Amino acid sequence: MRTHRCTAPSTRVSHQGGDLVDPGPAVRSIAQLVFTAQYTPRRINKIPPRLQPAAGKCLNQGNPRIFHDFTKVTTGISADFRYPHILKQQSRKIQIQCTDGTISHARHVGQGKSLEDSSTATVIVGGGLAGLACAAALAERNQPVTLLESRPRLGGRASSFEDQQSQSLIDNCQHVSMGCCHEFNRFCETVGIADSFERAEQLYFIGPHQSGPVNADTRFQVNRFASSPALPTPLHLFPAFARLSYLNFREKRELAQGLKQLARTRVNLQDEPTMADWLQAHGQSQTVIDRFWNVVLVSALSESLERISLSHARKVFVDGFLRARDSWQVLIPTTPLEQLYGTTISDWLTTRGTEIRLKTGVKQIHITDGKVTGVELRDGTHIDADRVVLAVPHQRVLDLLPAEFPGRTELSRIAELEAAPITSVHLWFDREITPLPHAVFVDCLSQWMFNRTQLMQQEHDGRWYYQIVISASHQLTAAGRQGRSQEEIIQEVIAELTRIWPVTGEAQLLHSRMLTEHHAVFSVQPGVEQLRPAQRTQVAGLYLAGDWTSTGWPATMEGAVRSGLLAAEELLHDLGKPDSLLLPPENTAFLSKMLFRL
Ligand SMILES: Cc1cc2nc3c(=O)[nH]c(=O)nc-3n(C[C@H](O)[C@H](O)[C@H](O)COP(=O)(O)OP(=O)(O)OC[C@H]3O[C@@H](n4cnc5c(N)ncnc54)[C@H](O)[C@@H]3O)c2cc1C
């Protein structure tokens, strides 16, 4: 078994584009290597003459991919770059090939700033948003970590892949945030990706032009949904609801009563109904259920009303519509997820001392006498660690832990968490079918449309790319399709688009792809909160993170980020450096307090 001790950078090397503080003969060559990495080829002439030959050699011999990265990153050095030069690493001594070709022994070095020396190591397993948020919070507090991710990229479920036929990077599925996702939005600001989201201050609900049943002659109409600046929260959305074409006056009054009752309901988590049962018990008609409750809740919680718990449904309306003014607004990425969570965050973390190791799957967490001692990788390598944050999907957790450990019985309940699927249909047409950037569909199989060509502010290159999202797509999984092929479902989606935008029928479909993520989210059924564990475990040094842990949020990017912050809080507490990482709860608008007793 190979052994790799995960050490914290410990030698101060200060060289932010300026003078190199000579760290002494033992590490001088490493310092040159690190120093070199801080310069792009264009800036090479800024490297002090004393170091230029070595620097030039290093840049010329560098791995081309990493070398390419350095043309964008002008500070810092990535672990990927360092490791090819490290020939052997034992305990905290490392042996590296220096830029002048000699072999040198030294201790691990920092990258332009002094990181706190830590005699023990922290490992995060899983590079989804939970693991990334945890790593970022620790990096901000000078706690270096090693992040291990089994896949070749970061981002987990919120990532992209290369579509061979369209030769483009497409997202696993469109991911959107909302104004009420405070921790996620702050995380984006911290790591410098907030500018890559567009805030939609107007939504477009597309439904029948009037109340009543839909038939072949039904016309569809775009309903613009925006807040009224003159009205206080929560009345600011009242005119938008009042304008919806597909509900009549009686249905709107019924809806208003339902919303008020829901907001005022106090839910008993031990014994709560499904939302479908609650709606029926509170006099909501099938039309209002289909055209309002279903539309909002299924896309927000990725589950059907028959399976959604009352508490989660209430949270969507209270946090998303009633508590604060802009909380309902949707934030949509304008670049592929790969760039957001892959490249940008990776660079941010590595320049702050986080070591990121991709394609590094963990096989087992080692626990001795109720305490974490390290992790074993799939290739047999052992990494010593005194603290491990397990940030993998809940289906993987129990397999990575030993058969026996304190608290296993309680944790085993996560096996009862059920999954809900999300389907995305990707369509490339030879022309624009709508200039709308996004839309929500009512009374359709399709639920959301995202105009990716427009959102990404791309030139269309003769192809217009639209993505259709269908949440809680139980009926579209192989078992639920009842013999229908993917092609037939894609045609059904196109037929719907044609009914709404007739130009679709004349457009040529250049390429299409349908993807169903079977374990997209955990199902927010009644009783689910009792199955979600806290971030602290009964094993010393073992913490849990992931959207499935207890955060009070459904499976969302916000939930994942919160879980990572909560795990980091517990870890810092155990290190004797307690810190409060979550933002204080948002103030509830005065009128909402009065009207709904929030
Ligand atoms: C199709 C789809 C659409 C969605 N849409 C939205 C949306 O619009 N808005 C929203 O807020 N949320 C959305 N979500 C939910 C959101 O993606 C998740 O809640 C969030 O990304 C979960 O992050 P996580 O870090 O908890 O888990 P994950 O993203 O699953 O990350 C876990 C990581 O652990 C890694 N891993 C697993 N096993 C190992 C191992 N043995 N060793 C090392 N690494 C390992 C995995 O490769 C993965 O990278 C959507 C999800 C899906 C699937």
CB-CB contact of 579 with 572 (8 Å): yes
Cβ(518) – ligand 1 distance below 6 Å: no
Q: How far is the CA of 548 from the centre of ligand 1 (A)?
A: 10
Distance CA 327, CA 333 (A): 17
Range 355-379 average pLDDT = 96
pLDDT at residue number 213: 84
pTM: 0.82
Q: What pLDDT, in 10s, does the model give residues 382-439?
A: 999 999 999 999 999 999 999 999 999 999 999 999 999 999 999 999 999 999 999 9
pLDDT grade, residue 76 (50/70/90)?
very low
CA 555 to ligand 1 centroid distance, Å: 9
Question: Which two three-digit tokens encode residue 384?
Answer: 């010593």
Structure token pair of residue 393: 């999907």
H helix count then E strand count, the chain: 21, 24
Please give the pLDDT value at position 164. Answer: 85
Q: What is the dihedral of CA 18, 22, 26, 31, to 10 degrees?
A: 0
Cβ burial 170-206 (10 Å sphere, 16+ → b, else e)? bbbbbbbbbbbbbbbbbbbebbebeebbbebeebbbb
pLDDT at 47 (0 to 100)? 38
pLDDT band at 98 (very low <50, low <70, confident <90, very high): very low
* Residue 526 confidence (pLDDT): 97
Cβ of 126 closer than 6 Å to ligand 1, yes or no, is yes
Q: Is 560 in the pocket of ligand 1 (CB under 6 A)?
A: yes
Digit-coded pLDDT (tens) for 182-195: 999 999 999 999 99
Strand partners, 97: 103
| 165 pLDDT tier (thresholds 50, 70, 90) | confident
- The residue whose CA is least distant from atom 5 of ligand 1 is 175
Predicted local distance difference test score (pLDDT) of residue 114 = 29
CA of 451 relative to ligand 1 center, distance in Å: 23
Report the pLDDT value the prediction gives residue 108, as an integer from 0 to 100: 35
- Say whether 123 counts as a known binding-site residue: no
Q: Taking 50 as the threshold, does the pLDDT of residue 152 lie above it?
A: yes
Query: How confident is the model at residue 230, as a pLDDT?
Result: 95
Distance between first and last Cα of the chain: 58
253-307, pLDDT tens digit by residue?
999 999 999 999 999 999 999 999 999 999 999 999 999 999 999 999 999 999 9
Q: What are phi and psi of 160, to 5 degrees?
A: -120, 170
ipTM above 0.90, yes or no: yes
- What domains can you pick out in the chain, each with its CATH number? 3-117 (no CATH), 119-198+334-416+525-598 (3.50.50.60), 226-328 (1.10.405), 419-522 (3.90.660.10)
Q: What pLDDT is recorded for position 172?
A: 86
Residue 383 Cβ inside 6 Å of ligand 1? The answer reads no
pLDDT band at 120 (very low <50, low <70, confident <90, very high): low
597, pLDDT greater than 80? yes
Whether the CA torsion 550, 553, 554, 560 is positive or negative: it is: negative
Average predicted confidence (pLDDT) for the chain: 82
Q: What span, in angstroms and rounded, lies between the C-alpha atoms of 309 and 506?
A: 43
A 10 A CB-CB count for 594 gives 9
Distance of CA 156 from the midpoint of ligand 1 (Å): 4
Q: How confident is the model at residue 243 (pLDDT cuts 50, 70, 90)?
A: very high
349 by DSSP, 3-state: which?
Answer: helix
- How much distance in Å is there from the Cα of 126 to the middle of ligand 1? 9
Mean local confidence (pLDDT), 75-82: 27
| Residue 70 predicted with pLDDT over 50 | no
Cα-based angle 124, 128, 132 (whole degrees, multiple of 5):
55
Residue 37 has pLDDT above 80, yes or no: no
Determine the atom of ligand 1 nearest the C-alpha atom of 545: 26
87 pLDDT band, cuts 50/70/90, is very low
User: Which of 392, 440, 543 should be mutated for ligand 1, with most atoms under 8 A from CB?
Assistant: 392
47: Cβ–Cβ under 8 A, 6 or more apart, which residues?
35, 36, 39, 55
pLDDT value of residue 43: 38
| 338-354: average pLDDT | 90
Is the predicted pLDDT of residue 175 greater than 90, yes or no?
Answer: yes
Higher-confidence position of 557 and 57? 557
Q: What is the pLDDT of residues 183-229, one digit of tens each?
A: 999 999 999 999 999 999 999 999 998 888 888 788 899 999 999 99
